[in-house]
Every structure is written in structure tokens, then in C-alpha cells.
């Protein structure tokens, strides 16, 4: 059984690696820190609850069942970390988040202190590695300690369920899917783990033996619930990294055109650098290049390309993208050739610089990709599309 628990702890605990590859940068993000803390503490619960770990802790301390309050305290810390994660995930003003986190940490800190005090007051000299909850269900102070840790964990799971249900109605996409996974995990924890424990303990109070619910059913249900919650925590971040990788790849046509103009310093990166970091650098570099090309923007090229696109039946938004792509390509050609800025040059703000995020740049890059010739001709003709590509512009991209 210990081997299975350790394996679950390893799988559970390795998931933060995707979020914590750059420790200095990650420590500045409360959401990343709270996510990793919740997952690591969840893995630590499994490690502490393994019979082999309990026996080792009892032997090292010389106190029978000392592993019990240790495990229960770690479980309370995990419950606290889950609530802190939800608080940071939900967001709000910095002062409001800080106040809620402080209240949560204080409440569970007091709970952990009470668990240790109750254990010290109890008489639990018989070592129990698998059935301590039911064996000591009628023992003074041990009974209260067991109920206290269960109630503390139940409160955290109930709050998690309520938040996931309420917040799930307000969001969509990967975040909603992540919340649903967390909700399923929390419900499985409530029903499969906690209800099983409560039932077995109440049965002991009434002279019945349903210990198998606590010793056989509850542990695997808790493991499965924790893994589902872990997947729910990580899914939005993994989805964001996937979107960043896609946007980074779709920006390639625009980056190939303007990279020689950009003066943004390239930070040292490794092959394992996360996509969001790579995308952020490419976005900054492209904006820097577009700023350098602004004096070469020929409005005659843009206007002619726009009029030709409108006559071809494209939407106003699609025609604007096509025209701006032609103007940027013409500006890049002029800058590379060392020509003087055109007489019709003037101030103009690209659509890509008017919208937040990477969506506008991606649209501009795809407009360039759809052109058979990256360099627009000076007369403003609209380049014909590449074979096999769509002739209509894509819908506006939202990063």
C-alpha cells in the first residue's frame, strides 16, 4: 500500500514542474506560488499518510502514533493552501486578497495547533498505522482531534465546491473546464473520502464495525480526488502555454519580415523556455520593429490595397488587414533598401497596436502569410493569395 501511495504522491508532486521552471520569476507570481504550494502539500499528505512513513516517524520520535497529528496537520495545511489558491485565482484588489489570505491562514493555523494540543492530552499508546481513526473513535481527546481534522478538511472542500459552481457560470474555455475538474475532485473527496470516514467513525460510536470504509475505500478515493484537482489547477496554465505556442508560430511571417529592423535586445533563452516567455519577447520585438518602420509607411500603398480588397468583396476589417500588411511589407522593403521615407508617409496607427494582447499582431501576420509576395508593390496592388490558402481574412483573433 505504501508503494502505491508514494507513486500517487510522486505523480501529484511532479505537476508543478511545468509552472516552477524559473524559481525566481515564479516566486513573484502569487498564483503560481499558491498553485505549487497546494499541489506539493497534497503530495506531502500522501507521503505522510503511508504506513511506512507513519512507522518511521513514530520510531524516530519515540512517540506512538505521532505520525497521526503530523499527517492531519499537513492535511489542514493542504486545505488552507487550496483556499488560498482559490482566493488568488479569483483575484481582486491586492488589499482584499491579502486580507482573505491572512484570515484563511490564521484559521487553519489555529486548527493545526488544536490538533497537536488534543493529541498531547490524549492517551494513545497503541500504535495504529492503518485504522487509527476508527480504533480511537471513542477515546477522549483523540476523538475530538479526529473530528477536528475532518471538519477542517470538509469546510475547505465545501467552500471549493461553492466557488467552483459560482465562478464556473461566469467564465468559459479552459478555466471553466479546470473548475469542473476541481469540482469533481472535491465532490469525490467529500463523498468517497470524508463521508466514508464519518460513517465508519459514527458506526464505531454505535458499536458497529464499518472500518473497511475508512481503511479500504477512503484512501484510493482521496488519491483520485487529489489527482483530479491537480489536473484542474494546471489545465488553465497548460492551455495558456499551448495558445502562446500557437501564437508564437503564427507570428512567424511577420517576424521574418521585420526581424532585421528590430533593436530589442534578445534575452538569453534555453530550449526549454516556456512558450509564453518566448511569445512575450517576440511580441515586444515586433512592436519595436513596427515603430522603427512607421516613418516608411506609405499611405498611398495602404489606400490602394484597401480599395482593391473591398472591390474583391472582403469585409472592412479584412480589407484593413490586407492594406496594412501591404503597407508594412512595402515599408520593410524600403527600409532594407536604404530608401528615403515616401512623401505620402505620415502618422498612422496599425490595428495591431490598437488592441491588447497578441491578437492584432497575429491577424497582421496571417494577412502577410496569405499573400503570395511579402513585399507589396508601390502601386498598392493586392497580392494574390497563396495556393491552397483562404482568400477571406480570418476572424479577429483574441489572445
Mean pLDDT of 336-340: 84
Cell numbers for 188: 469525490
- What pLDDT is attached to residue 269? 56
- The count of other CB atoms within 10 Å of the CB of residue 43 is 23
Alpha-carbon span 257 to 192, nearest angstrom: 58
- What pLDDT is attached to residue 19? 53
Mean pLDDT of 361-370: 88
Check if CATH label 1.10.10 holds for domain 2-236.
no
- What pLDDT is attached to residue 184? 95
Alpha-carbon span 320 to 323, nearest angstrom: 5
- What pLDDT is attached to residue 345? 62
- What pLDDT is attached to residue 268? 52
- Chain CA centroid to CA 41, Å: 17
121 contacts: CB under 8 Å, gap ≥ 6: 141
Cell numbers for 181: 475538474
Alpha-carbon span 41 to 56, nearest angstrom: 19
Bridge partners of 298?
345
- What pLDDT is attached to residue 145? 96
Rounded to 5 degrees, what angle do the CA atoms 118, 119, 123 make? 110
Chain length of the chain? 399
Phi-psi region of 73 (alpha: psi -120 to 50; beta: other; left: phi over 0): alpha
pLDDT tens track for 213-241: 999 999 889 888 888 887 887 788 788 88
Cell numbers for 356: 491588447
- What pLDDT is attached to residue 346? 64
- What pLDDT is attached to residue 99? 94
Q: Which helix (H) or strand (E) holds 87?
A: helix 67-90
- What pLDDT is attached to residue 382? 41
**DSSP string computed for 333-382:** HHHHHTPPPPTTB-----GGGTSSSSHHHHHHHHHHHTBSSSSPPTT-PP
Mean pLDDT of 380-388: 37
pLDDT tens track for 307-329: 998 998 889 998 999 988 999 99
- What pLDDT is attached to residue 112? 96
The pLDDT of residue 91 is above 50 = yes
In this structure, of 137-141, 227-231, 276-280, 389-393, the range with the lowest mean pLDDT score is: 389-393
pLDDT tens track for 103-141: 999 999 999 999 999 999 999 999 999 999 999 999 999
Mean pLDDT of 139-155: 94
Mean pLDDT of 270-298: 81
Which candidate, 77, 38, 23, 3, places its Cα nearest to that of 231?
Answer: 38
- What pLDDT is attached to residue 109? 95
Q: Is 298 helix (H, G, I), strand (E, B) or coil?
A: strand
pLDDT tens track for 23-35: 455 556 777 788 7
- How far lies 385's CA from each of 56, 255, 359, in Å? 70, 19, 21
Mean pLDDT of 63-76: 93
97 contacts: CB under 8 Å, gap ≥ 6: 30, 87, 88, 91
Alpha-carbon span 378 to 207, nearest angstrom: 93
Alpha-carbon span 44 to 19, nearest angstrom: 18
- What pLDDT is attached to residue 22? 53
φ, ψ of residue 390 in degrees (nearest 5): -75, 145
pLDDT tens track for 163-207: 899 888 888 888 899 999 999 999 999 999 999 999 999 999 999
- The count of other CB atoms within 10 Å of the CB of residue 59 is 13
Domain ranges, ordered by start, for the chain: 2-236, 251-369
Grid cell 494540543 in the structure block, residue: 117
Q: How confident is the model at residue 388 (pLDDT cuts 50, 70, 90)?
A: very low
Alpha-carbon span 182 to 236, nearest angstrom: 12
- The count of other CB atoms within 10 Å of the CB of residue 226 is 25
Q: How confident is the model at residue 16 (pLDDT cuts 50, 70, 90)?
A: low
The pLDDT of residue 262 is above 60 = yes
Rounded to 5 degrees, what angle do the CA atoms 23, 172, 78 make? 45
Average pLDDT across the chain, whole number: 82
- What pLDDT is attached to residue 12? 59
Amino acid at each position: 500500500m505504501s508503494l502505491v501511495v508514494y507513486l500517487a504522491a510522486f505523480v501529484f508532486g511532479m505537476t508543478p514542474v511545468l509552472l516552477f521552471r524559473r524559481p525566481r520569476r515564479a516566486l513573484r507570481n502569487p498564483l503560481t506560488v499558491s498553485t505549487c504550494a497546494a499541489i506539493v502539500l497534497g503530495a506531502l499528505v500522501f507521503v505522510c499518510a503511508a504506513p511506512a512513513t507513519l512507522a518511521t516517524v513514530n520510531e524516530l520520535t519515540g512517540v506512538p502514533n505521532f505520525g497521526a497529528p503530523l499527517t492531519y496537520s499537513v492535511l489542514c495545511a493542504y486545505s488552507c493552501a487550496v483556499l488560498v489558491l482559490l482566493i488568488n485565482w479569483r483575484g481582486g484588489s491586492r488589499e482584499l486578497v491579502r486580507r482573505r489570505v491572512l484570515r484563511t491562514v490564521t484559521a487553519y493555523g489555529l486548527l493545526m495547533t488544536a490538533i497537536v494540543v488534543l493529541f498531547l492530552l490524549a492517551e494513545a499508546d497503541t500504535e495504529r498505522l492503518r485504522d487509527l481513526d476508527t480504533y480511537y473513535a471513542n477515546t477522549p481527546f483523540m476523538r475530538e482531534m479526529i473530528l477536528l481534522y475532518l471538519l477542517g478538511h470538509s469546510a475547505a472542500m465545501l467552500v471549493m465546491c461553492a466557488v467552483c459552481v459560482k465562478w464556473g457560470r461566469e467564465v468559459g474555455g479552459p478555466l471553466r473546464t479546470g473548475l469542473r475538474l476541481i469540482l469533481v475532485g472535491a465532490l469525490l473527496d467529500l463523498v468517497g473520502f470524508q463521508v466514508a470516514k464519518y460513517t465508519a467513525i459514527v458506526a464505531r460510536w454505535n458499536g458497529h464495525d464499518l472500518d473497511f470504509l475508512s481503511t479500504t475505500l477512503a484512501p484510493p478515493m482521496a488519491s483520485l480526488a487529489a489527482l483530479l484537482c491537480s489536473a484542474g489547477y494546471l489545465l488553465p496554465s497548460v492551455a495558456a502555454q499551448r495558445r502562446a505556442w500557437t501564437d508564437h508560430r503564427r507570428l512567424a511571417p511577420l517576424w521574418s519580415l521585420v526581424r532585421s529592423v528590430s533593436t530589442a535586445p534578445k534575452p538569453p533563452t534555453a530550449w526549454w523556455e516556456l512558450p509564453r516567455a518566448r511569445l512575450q519577447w517576440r511580441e515586444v520585438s515586433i512592436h519595436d520593429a513596427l515603430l522603427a518602420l512607421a516613418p516608411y509607411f506609405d499611405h498611398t500603398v495602404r489606400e490602394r490595397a484597401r480599395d482593391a480588397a473591398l472591390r474583391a468583396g472582403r469585409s472592412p476589417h479584412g480589407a484593413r488587414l490586407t492594406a496594412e500588411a501591404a503597407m508594412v511589407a512595402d515599408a520593410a522593403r524600403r527600409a532594407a533598401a536604404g530608401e528615403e521615407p515616401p512623401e505620402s508617409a505620415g502618422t498612422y496607427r496599425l490595428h495591431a497596436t490598437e488592441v491588447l494582447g497578441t491578437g492584432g499582431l497575429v491577424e497582421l501576420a496571417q494577412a502577410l502569410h496569405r499573400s503570395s509576395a511579402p513585399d507589396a508593390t508601390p502601386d498598392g496592388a493586392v497580392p494574390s493569395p497563396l495556393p491552397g490558402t483562404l482568400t477571406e481574412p480570418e476572424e479577429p483573433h483574441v489572445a
